């Protein structure tokens, strides 16, 4: 999703000892694709009460409209968790709905 403000892409780092509190994503029109680049074993993602695992070199699809938390309980020596996150349209969002969302949430010029 690159045509409206609901989508993004970027590298996300989470240092040892860090926790991102429980939150909901802003919409259920997208899925987040996390490509694990550096994934220490002490990192955890819980989505909708279900633990998920990152794996280096593999993608994990996440619907962040569900309650989710992220933590890195590893030691400093483990280094940060690093992922590339890319937002994708949810497959249940029809083309006409995508066009309407692009119109409603177009980035400010």
Q: What is the pLDDT of residue 35?
A: 98
Which pair of tokens denotes residue 17? 């000892």
**Has residue 105 been placed in a domain?**
no
pTM for the whole thing? 0.86
Q: What is the pLDDT of residue 1?
A: 63
**Has residue 70 been placed in a domain?**
yes
What is the per-residue DSSP string for 78-108?
A: G--EEEEEEEEE-TTS-HHHHHHHHHHTPPP
Quick check: 17 and 72 in contact, CB under 8 A? yes
pLDDT per 10-residue tile (average), the chain, 109 residues: 74 96 90 96 95 95 95 96 94 88 78
Quick check: 59 and 34 in contact, CB under 8 A? yes
**Has residue 46 been placed in a domain?**
yes
Q: What is the pLDDT of residue 29?
A: 87
**Has residue 2 been placed in a domain?**
no
Q: Identify the CATH number of the domain in which residue 50 sits.
A: 2.60.120.330
How many domains is the chain built from?
1
**Has residue 39 been placed in a domain?**
yes
**What is the Cα–Cα distance from 7 to 33, expressed in whole angstroms?**
11
Question: Which range marks the domain in which residue 49 is found?
Answer: 10-84
């Amino acid at each position: 999703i690159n045509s409206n403000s609901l989508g993004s892409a970027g590298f996300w780092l989470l240092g040892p000892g860090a926790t991102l509190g429980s939150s909901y994503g802003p919409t259920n029109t997208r899925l987040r694709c996390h490509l694990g680049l550096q994934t220490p074993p002490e990192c955890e993602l819980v989505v909708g009460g279900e633990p998920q695992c990152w794996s280096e070199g593999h993608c994990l699809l996440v619907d962040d409209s569900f309650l989710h938390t992220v933590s890195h309980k590893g030691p400093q020596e483990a280094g940060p968790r690093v992922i590339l996150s890319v937002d994708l349209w949810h497959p249940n969002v029809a083309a006409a709905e995508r066009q309407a969302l692009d119109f409603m949430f177009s980035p400010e010029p």
